[in-house]
Chains A and B, each alone.
Chain A
Amino acid sequence: METSSVTIATSQPVAPSRHHVRVAMNRFFANRLAVSGSILVLFITLICVLAPLLTSYDPLEMKVQDRLKPPSTSHWFGTDEFGRDVFTRVVYGSRISMGVGFSVVVITSIVGLLFGLYSAYYRRLDNFLMRINDGLMAFPAILLAIAILAALGPKMSNVIIALSVVYIPTVARAIRSVAITVREQTYIEAIHALGGKSWRVIWLHIAPNCLSPLIVQATFIFAYAVITEASLSFLGAGTPPPEPSWGNILNDGRTIMKQAWWMTVFPGLSIMITVLGLNLLGDGLRDLLDPHTNRAKK
């Protein structure tokens, strides 16, 4: 008797906001794509944060006597042609990849949202901004990034700038197309009729309705940015050696792939796992956030 009355008492007054959070959490955990994606992403993120704890080696320290050792208990992923521990380099390399990816996502989301919203709202601005967008989108992403890096010089901060310039148009377009639909909704007209000013309409009423596509888009941009950063470093345009990045470790191992397979396989796998995780997460989020997809199928 006693226990049953307690359970009723605790289960009844649930604050509405907490209720929504719980529903959202349940839905998230029921989505296999999103859960597996976020596990992978969480795994890589932990590696990046805990890098110094995971290895006792220095990623830059060279030991000539340990050149090109295959994987063993002391060097899990083997060593490279300078005797550096590949596991350590891959672990520290995740910081570059994830760091670049994350910064690019933050910059492209903010600037893309700004451009997307304003070009959807102000028609005159639209023509101008979207022509710039078209111009940027006419270049293949990697070529444009190489061109920008050639002008700015290979540096991590410049990689972030280059990749942001490359991916802002994608975000801006996605946001613009959503914002144009939202702009025509009656509730936006209603806000105007209530005397709302333009900035209020744009930021408090149109923007929140664009958030879910933005989150999905941002996840995919993260994945693209990781791949493109690796490609740039592989080509020698990105993170300059000896700083470890998955792309330049791959490049170091390229010529000796037959003798030292571990130098290519492990950074390659890392890229794959990261991008797979982000893409799964992106797909999962799209299913969760887009009310038009059929939830029953998943």
Chain B
Amino acid sequence: MIHVPLLEVKNLRTTFSTELGQVTAVDGVSFQVDSGETVGLVGESGCGKSVTSLSILRLFRKHSGTRLTGEIFFEQKELLQSSMEELQEIRGNRISMIFQDPMSSLNPVYTVGNQIAESLMLHQKLSKKAAQEKTIEMLTLVGIPSPDKRVNDYPHQLSGGMRQRVMIAMGLCCQPKLLIADEPTTALDVTIQAQILDLMLDLQKQLQMGILLITHDLGVVAEVCDRVLVMYLGQIVEEASVETLFENPKHPYTIGLMKSIPTIDGKRGKKLHVIEGIVPSLHQIPKGCRFAPRCPLADEKCRQHPPDLFEIARLHQVRCWHHERIGVGGVAFGG
């Protein structure tokens, strides 16, 4: 039997037209997400993480000059070729999305109960009363105290953590097969962060859904993900299981990211590691390897020729000419 992944993205390219010309925000990205699996998508701001997630549901304004090419299969259905009606049926029902900012992700003029119920009435064709009951059930599930009262609250009456829980309840109320979480915990403090992540994993087990977790927080990745995709400037530069990535990172960029994490036993007063240079603008993409200008290993070959994704082990891919020179744990760095 051939294994069919829940979500399969093949060679996705997302191009925007701007005043300065065409910009390719996502360039040839391919990956898969299986049922019950959590895949992390990591990278700096502006590397194309969010655009990738928006591309999956085609959440771009019509006539905005956005061009999507490649293929996205969800449950064997091609999403880029689907009609708007088919997509609207999938959005919020089979694929849900949780947004980064819980403070502005809820409509201020409706109670939270109304907003969750809306999605239920929209997709599950529930009656108002049934939707209301199901809403209270969902609020209980995401751990909101006295949900029968909270259901009538307006967003401004809830704290950030509560709102994020409401967002999750909204995302999960139709029991989606795939959850796209775009930095779901960035706006929350660390204790709430842990609670929300636990909650998501708990619900994942119950519903057997796949999660695509977009984040720049490697701590979160280490905690919850099964596999990780590292993105840089619109491309995937490394893909590995979470253990492999943390024990044996092969891309200089991944190694740089790892080194930038503050450690609990690090010396006080010692400066944190930084990756030299800045992310180039998408208008001036380097000719060779995109990371070459900031890479300590870069040589003439790197500056002239863009590397391919090399499969160096099973389920471990890296986009670097020098991956062989990088030893276990990235120790031979710069050698």
Contact = CB atoms under 8 A, between A and B. Distances in A.
Nearest to A19: B152
B107 A192 contact: no
A124 B167 CA distance: 32
Contacts of B106: 187, 190
B222 to A, nearest CB: 27
Interface string A229-243: 000000000000000
B123 interface: yes
B264 interface: no
A298 interface: no
A6 interface: no
Interface string B102-126: 0011111110000000110011000
B63 interface: yes
Nearest to B58: A192
Contacts of B89: 195
Contacts of A209: 107-109
Given A16-B152, A194-B91, A200-B122, 12 more contacts: A186-B100, A187-B104, A187-B108, A188-B107, A190-B106, A192-B59, A194-B170, A195-B90, A195-B92, A196-B88, A197-B88, A208-B109
B176 to A, nearest CB: 10
A186 B123 CA distance: 21
Interface residues of B, number: 31
Contacts of B152: 16-17
A208 B119 CA distance: 18
B44 interface: no
Interface of B: 57, 59, 61, 63, 87-93, 96-97, 99-101, 104-110, 118-119, 122-123, 152-153, 167, 170
Contacts of A196: 88, 92, 118, 122
Given A205-B107, A209-B107, A194 B122 contact: yes
A186 B105 contact: yes
Given A16-B152, A186-B104, A208-B109, A195 B63 contact: no
A10 B208 CA distance: 48
Contact of B122 (A188, A192, A193, A195): A195
User: Considering residues A188, A193, A205, which has the most beta carbons from chain B within 10 angstroms of its beta carbon?
Assistant: A193
